[in-house]
Structure 1
Amino acid sequence: MSRIPLSGLPTRAARWSATHPWRAIGAWLAFVVIAVGLSATVSTHEVTDADYRLGESGRAATLMEQADLDAPPTENVVISARAGDLDNAQARAAAADVADRMAGLDGVAGVGDAVSSADGTALLVPVALTSDEIDAAPLLDATAAVQEEHPDLRVEQAGDVTIGDAIDERVGEDLQSAEIVSLPITLVLMLLAFGALIAAGLPVLLAATSVAATIGITAPISYLVPAEPTVYSMIVLIGMAVGVDYSLFYLKRERQERASGRSTLDAVTIAAETSGHAILVSGGAVIASLAALFVLTDVTFNSLATGAILVVAVAVLGSITVLPALLVKLGRWVDRPRVPLLWRLTRRVRTGTISGRLLGPVVRHPVAALVVSGLVIGALAVPALSMKTHQASAETLPHDIPAVQTLRHITKAFPAEGTYAQVVVTGVDEAAATRGLDALAAAAGKDDHFAVDGAQVRTSADGETSVIDLALPFDESDDRAADAIERLRDRLAPAALDDLGPDVSWAVGGDAASSLDHANRQGDRMPLLLGIVLLLTMVMMVLAFRSVLLGLVSTVLNLASVGVAFGLLSLVFQHGVGESLLDFTSPGFVIDWIPIFVLVVLVGLSMDYHVFVLSRIRELVDRGMPAREAVHRGIADTAGVITSAAAVMVSVFAIFATLSMMEMKMMGVGLAAAILIDATLIRLVVLPAVLVLLGERAWPRRRTGRGGPGAPATPEVPPTTWTSTSGELVPVNR
């Protein structure tokens, strides 16, 4: 057996794991078991409402909480006619029935007087609760009983608890559906790639154990970075994608080396030196990209970044430790049991045959290929210039949830129950605060941006803090709602409140104000985030390949991928293209955290393909092959692996595009479509065209000896034995 020089962390880790396989496998199993055990024994510290507070709206919420002026959680029962005009007497009788049935239930603090809508078409019964943790089932049963007693009326209920419970239930159903569907699809794609059950199962097994271990580790880490509820969905999403990809890269290379006559140990070592190194670099790029989320200082992004970084790190660790150990123990059994037709098909199609021919026109005419692909990318990215973002609201909730339908009915009939601004005053006596807030309400009543009829001042028990709710006759996502908040802050509130006294302090809060504050924070920090992501990934590419040109190329291609992703998000969810196909109604905006999340995840994941392709080209250049031929052959050799890896990612993300929750749908569409274009148009057309045009300048020479690190899967071939004919790489003396 020939000795292969060891270099780098992946090689050392793989060599140790390969020579001590049972220790490596046992250590990995122990790690996973201990991590899963942590999740069972350590409770997760989740984010609280206070963690989401930001800016002036956050200060208003804190003042109200300290003064015990927070509105209690509320359920609303709305009564309307099934057909025709509402009979007021019948509606009042039903409202009295609701009050009687609700008053004695556990968790009910009180039932308010029935309120008629301005147009007389509905009656609203507010039910104040003691906590948002109560069981809503008895309340819903009471409402159902009233409905049964009054069949001519429509009696419906919605509120803080019922909507929260309905959303939690729907999210659980969506995620369970995604998990059930994603595993068999991933296994089928792996079978198509390998044609053997064990080889197909290894990537899925590694990804699944990485996800399980990360979820376990998240529990104790949540006491340092509070866990946002969506972090577990993100861990599954990212973990399955990168875990399968990393194993796929490693396993494909190991099989190529064995097919060329290497022993299993040597094949594993060469795979570590090549694919293992690429995994380490791409994993570092993903982590660097995700780490940029911390600059937003937002509790949601802090949690998502932490979970994603952990699962990527765990997947990288498994790929360079337990995977080599498993491959050594399995040996050639990794190709068993074989699926007859698929096995013959995967063995018959020679690596690079199809992709080499497809790359021919790009290599022959790089300028034309670059111009055409650039026009396509530009056209897809143009809608991003008009992208509008906003926080998730009632408009983004699934329309088929009964509580959501009722909520829309309530907010339409009773605007004050929908969007509103809260103005909080402290630092003056109750009389002065009331006088100022009443004056503010009077001024707002003359402004078309407000609907303040009946607005009442509420004052804390100690008389030191007062608040008034000013209704806005717009949906929260309407630009006019943001204009109303700015009018309050810049003109109306200062005019009415600043003269109350030298110690007066006031703040404008509420959901619309919170949305505006979050949008302003993200808008201010988005350029910084984008700059950090691109700079970190460029530096990593320069360090990995010792080429500034490759670092710049990587940055430009990442920008192109992000532009396409943002353009597609805007086109689909803001402008409604494909609504019927994806079964949703456009809210007219993109949920604000989606573009940021898609940005960092896409840049990170696209680096997987980029690093893998460039690593293969780098090998061939280091062996002495001219840059043009190395680009052609390197991309052709890796195209099959890239296609398989992209198919896994696109399939996993596309499943999320079929779910009912709008956030999941946006995330799935944005990532699936962008990665598909990134792995095809950008990496198989734009990248080779640019590299051919750059030629030798992109590849500083650093030759290695025969059989040294980075040796290709095929025996070394002097550059003079290869020629490019009609754009196809052809061996002359072979």
Structure 2
Amino acid sequence: MASLLYRLGRFAYDRRWLVLAAWLVIVAAVGGSAAAFHGSMTNNFQIPGTETQRMLDKLKAELPSAAGGSATVVFTSPDAAFTDSQKRDLSAALAKIKGLDGVQNVTDPFTTQAQLDGAAAKIADGKAQIQANEAKLAAGAPQLEAAKAKLDATRAQLDAGQAQLDAQKKALAAQGLPAAAIAQATASAQAQLNAGRQQLAAGQAQYDAGKKQADEGAAKLADAKAQLALAQRQATAAEGLRFVSSDGKAAIASIQFTKSTDALTPALRQDVQSIASSVAGVNAYPSKELTQDISQIFGTSEGIGVAVAAIVLFVMLGTFVAAGLPLLMALIGVAVGVGGTFALTSVVSMSSVTPMLGLMLGLAVGIDYSLFIVNRHRTQLLGGMDPRESVALSIGTSGNAVVFAGLTVVIALAALVVPGLPFLAVMGLAAAATVAVAVLVAVTLLPAVLGFAGRRIISRRRWAKALAENAKAGHAEEEARTDLEKANRGWGAWVTRHPWVSVLGAVVLLAVLAVPAAQLRLALPDGGSEPVDSTAFKAYDATGKYFGEGMTGPIIVVGDLPPGLDASAVQAKEYDVADQLRSVPGVVAAVPGTVSPDRRIAVFQVIPKEGPASASTVQVVHDLRAKGADIQASTGVTIGLTGQTAANVDVSSKLADALPPYLTIVVGLSFILLLLVFRSLLVPLLATGGFLLSLGAAFGAVVAVYQWGWLGPVFDVTHPGAVLSFMPILLIGILFGLAMDYQVFITSGIRESYAHGVEAHLAVRTGFHHAARVITAAAIIMVSVFAGFIFSHLTMVRPLGFGLALGVLLDAFVVRMTLVPAVMRLLGTAAWWLPRWLARILPDLDIEGAKLERVAAPERSDEGEPEPVAR
């Protein structure tokens, strides 16, 4: 690998115009693709196969109107309750929002609250009407019974008279009287009976009409009772739910969109916010879903971090040209890596953190990798080496270490596909690609640009001093003595003189910092994690103040109804289910919503007591799911949860489950890679143990600041809460790769000294001395870049930036520059022990490129080229 990179460096130096042109074409092509094909990003994290995703897919297929995203706008009157004029203007503004293309529905808070407030009066009025109708029916019932009895008596009397008359007619016929005489004799009596029957028929008709009216009244009364019962159940379900505050100073409007909130166009977002803010004398606070801007990935704070990195580079390298090269290389790598990520957003669903992660890592490793090579090249030039040879050798040696260091980061990030979480896999692969581009830039474009820079990377005064020193007789021996004297001073010398104190101090410090990590709680951020002066935070704060925090993160419950239900039966089932949902501890309200046209799908909105990221709401989600069996047994309705609140709980749970196996993979990978590199058993164990210590300390500090609120004002943590759910797994992957970077650079120097015959304990000191300056600068640069993201405009990135900045700081200075040399000093030659059978199996990677320096020198001398100066 070292020889291949040496030839690559020499090619890039000799063909620098070609290499520069190729990279310019790549940058232009990627930039054009990003501008032409970029799509929208998302902050909704879904995992295929989870209940929330299945329910969302069901809604999209069977009830699309309920599958769109939603947002809220909180309106407040600063001085007094809303006036009638303001209420009319707000209702008109909301009606205008409802008419926008892409808006499904808008809830008018004043109309809805009036309905809720009037429900009690309507129920009372209904009860009074029912009681009056019941009294009226009760009063009419005796009259109907008396009329029926009178009719029955008259009918019996007429039947008896008719029977008597018929017997008389039969007796006259038996006497032999003609029929005409019989009819004439009984005509009067028959006429009286017929008249009586006519009166009976009229009375029966009158009774039937009265009975029908009474039956209809009873039916209407029964229906009214049923409707009243439903109204009472509806009022009960909505208890504790308000859309206008009790003091009349705030109102909350819900906006339902046809698409997810992440797919909303900037124009629609702006139109909604402009219309909502157009009412005079009223403050409008749109929720996070409307105000979040995930189109910008670079802000002021990130720029400050890069500026600090530039200052460190200038202080270390001494010229603007030398300091500017690592920055330029990092920016080109970021342009290609992040630009390529943006170009894929139209075909790959990715979160807003994805390009931010690539930007963060691309800047940090891009600067550091180029710094290692530039510093090596600069040292060799000062030693008198020819620029062409120096560039090639720098790529073959330091570039070799850069390739391996970058490979560890790439592997760690690519391993994020292992947990099986699509959005996390996309993050990892995108970041890994950006780091890979940074490595390619460092070993191809950088040597070409170094060819253009020539000796301008060294100041004139330093160059003149180097020429004078190189001309002195015995300069090499004097430089070796000076180097040894310097190695016996400073931090490295103190650590190796007091190894036990160094080990105990480092372990105790990291262990204390790691203590809070035991309380780590994961969740996705809500509006409360936004900056205090942001509209999203004000909306979250006003919602919690006036309506309860649960209104900021409702839980959507989807119910599968039994077949064959009519409209009334569906309503009854809905309230049966709502009653069960409301019985779950921590639920403030459970309100039935939309029903599918075929009456098979019903949607419920459950309002928890606290916000979506709180521990109690997480428990509510679990309890609702546990309640599903009881609901199905008692109502026949099968429920499932969806919505962003439930999805966040699922994502956090999945990520927490994925954390231990991922950590195991990374730790195992760490051991194997370092075993290959350093051909030692104890050095990989030491490096891995140190990584776990710095990782635990970083976790503990993140918990203390972002979960407990320690130093909250310093880091702008206004609403401490659960830690970003995918921060730990990202921190593990990224910090592992970066930790191995520093392990490689510092331990390779120690190994090189030991391989050249220096005693083990002295090799630790001299190797530390050779690497300390550049590692210190590189660590400060990386910490500065990561720290710039602590105050990013994307609040999700802030804890990640903090964790990485502190993790790198601790790993570089406490683990790699204190704990590792102290332990290696105690181990002595045992640090490099390796069983013979294993030594025969393992390939010799020669990561520090020592063989290249020893072997390639005579080969290059034969070609008439200058011989390289040994390190």
TM-score normalised according to structure 1 size: 0.86
Counterpart-to-counterpart distance in 1, 2:301 and 2:405? 26
Q: Among residues 836, 854, 858, which one is paired with 1:708 in the alignment?
A: 854
Counterpart residue number, 1:449: 586
Counterpart residue number, 1:360: 493
In the alignment, is the contact (CA less than 8 A) between 1:54 and 1:514 conserved in 2?
A: no
Instruction: Tell me if 1:564 matches 2:692.
Output: no
1:305 shift after superposition: 0.9
Counterpart residue number, 1:254: 377
Q: 1:82 to 1:529 in 2, by over 3 A?
A: same
Counterpart residue number, 2:528: 395
Counterpart-to-counterpart distance in 2, 1:648 and 1:395? 31
Counterpart residue number, 1:659: 792
1:20 shift after superposition: 3.7
Counterpart-to-counterpart distance in 2, 1:341 and 1:449? 76
1:518 shift after superposition: 1.2
Counterpart-to-counterpart distance in 2, 1:489 and 1:696? 59
1:456 shift after superposition: 1.8
> 531-540 vs 29-38, which deviates more?
29-38
In the alignment, is the contact (CA less than 8 A) between 1:31 and 1:213 conserved in 2?
A: yes
Q: 1:578 to 1:661 in 2, by over 3 A?
A: farther
SS for the counterpart of 1:580 is coil
Counterpart-to-counterpart distance in 2, 1:658 and 1:351? 42
Counterpart residue number, 1:64: 59
In the alignment, is the contact (CA less than 8 A) between 1:211 and 1:240 conserved in 2?
A: yes
Counterpart residue number, 2:31: 36
Counterpart-to-counterpart distance in 2, 1:374 and 1:552? 15
Q: 1:544 to 1:9 in 2, by over 3 A?
A: farther
SS for the counterpart of 1:168 is coil
Counterpart-to-counterpart distance in 2, 1:599 and 1:440? 43
SS for the counterpart of 2:293 is helix
Q: Among residues 590, 593, 599, which one is paired with 1:463 in the alignment?
A: 599
1:57 shift after superposition: 1.5
Counterpart-to-counterpart distance in 2, 1:449 and 1:137? 35
Counterpart-to-counterpart distance in 2, 1:343 and 1:111? 75
Q: Percent identity?
A: 26
Q: 1:309 to 1:707 in 2, by over 3 A?
A: closer
Instruction: Tell me if 1:691 matches 2:824.
Output: yes
1:360 shift after superposition: 2.0
> 355-364 vs 120-129, which deviates more?
120-129
Counterpart residue number, 1:421: 555
Counterpart-to-counterpart distance in 2, 1:693 and 1:479? 47
In the alignment, is the contact (CA less than 8 A) between 1:14 and 1:269 conserved in 2?
A: yes
Q: 1:245 to 1:684 in 2, by over 3 A?
A: same
Counterpart-to-counterpart distance in 1, 2:642 and 2:70? 19
1:200 shift after superposition: 1.2
1:707 shift after superposition: 4.6
1:328 shift after superposition: 3.9
Where does the alignment leave 5 or more consecutive residues of structure 2 unmatched?
Answer: 114-241, 471-478, 835-843, 858-866
Counterpart-to-counterpart distance in 2, 1:303 and 1:318? 22
Q: 1:269 to 1:102 in 2, by over 3 A?
A: closer
> 697-706 vs 90-99, which deviates more?
697-706
Q: 1:460 to 1:233 in 2, by over 3 A?
A: same
1:253-276 alpha-carbon deviations (Å, 9 max, x no partner): 122223233322332343233312
Counterpart residue number, 2:20: 25
1:380 shift after superposition: 1.0
Counterpart-to-counterpart distance in 1, 2:34 and 2:252? 44
Counterpart residue number, 2:78: 82
Where does the alignment leave 5 or more consecutive residues of structure 1 unmatched?
Answer: 1-5, 717-734
TM-score normalised according to structure 2 size: 0.73
Q: 1:440 to 1:106 in 2, by over 3 A?
A: closer
Instruction: Tell me if 1:438 matches 2:575.
Output: yes
Instruction: Tell me if 1:373 matches 2:506.
Output: yes
SS for the counterpart of 1:156 is strand
Q: Among residues 177, 184, 203, which one is paired with 2:307 in the alignment?
A: 184
One-letter code of the match for 1:466? A
Q: 1:645 to 1:360 in 2, by over 3 A?
A: same
Provide the aligned length of Structure 1 versus Structure 2.
693
1:566 shift after superposition: 0.3
Instruction: Tell me if 1:472 matches 2:608.
Output: yes
Counterpart residue number, 1:168: 293
Counterpart-to-counterpart distance in 1, 2:465 and 2:725? 44
In the alignment, is the contact (CA less than 8 A) between 1:189 and 1:644 conserved in 2?
A: yes
Counterpart residue number, 1:625: 758
Instruction: Tell me if 1:497 matches 2:618.
Output: no
SS for the counterpart of 1:135 is helix
Counterpart residue number, 2:359: 236
1:389 shift after superposition: 1.6
1:94 shift after superposition: 4.9
1:120 shift after superposition: 4.4
In the alignment, is the contact (CA less than 8 A) between 2:45 and 2:647 conserved in 1?
A: no
Q: 1:54 to 1:331 in 2, by over 3 A?
A: same
Q: Among residues 647, 668, 684, which one is paired with 1:551 in the alignment?
A: 684
1:576 shift after superposition: 1.1
Q: 1:71 to 1:398 in 2, by over 3 A?
A: farther
Counterpart-to-counterpart distance in 1, 2:742 and 2:326? 17
Counterpart-to-counterpart distance in 1, 2:795 and 2:488? 37
> 121-130 vs 54-63, which deviates more?
121-130
1:442 shift after superposition: 1.2
SS for the counterpart of 2:792 is coil
SS for the counterpart of 2:656 is helix
Counterpart residue number, 1:647: 780
1:340 shift after superposition: 11
Counterpart residue number, 1:264: 387
Counterpart-to-counterpart distance in 1, 2:276 and 2:786? 40
1:4-49 alpha-carbon deviations (Å, 9 max, x no partner): xx94432232233344444433333333333333324444585696
1:593 shift after superposition: 1.5
One-letter code of the match for 1:11? Y
Q: 1:478 to 1:110 in 2, by over 3 A?
A: closer
SS for the counterpart of 2:559 is strand
SS for the counterpart of 1:583 is coil
Counterpart residue number, 1:158: 286
Asked which structure has the greater CA Rg, the reply is: 2
Q: Which has the higher helix share?
A: 2
One-letter code of the match for 2:539? T
Q: 1:710 to 1:599 in 2, by over 3 A?
A: farther
SS for the counterpart of 2:587 is coil
Counterpart-to-counterpart distance in 2, 1:354 and 1:626? 14
1:304 shift after superposition: 1.6
One-letter code of the match for 1:452? A
1:98-156 alpha-carbon deviations (Å, 9 max, x no partner): 4565565555555544244363444444455555435244444444442x2xx4xx442
SS for the counterpart of 2:606 is strand
One-letter code of the match for 1:420? P
Counterpart residue number, 1:721: none
Instruction: Tell me if 1:529 matches 2:525.
Output: no
Q: 1:135 to 1:222 in 2, by over 3 A?
A: closer
One-letter code of the match for 1:593? F
Q: CA RMSD in A?
A: 3.4
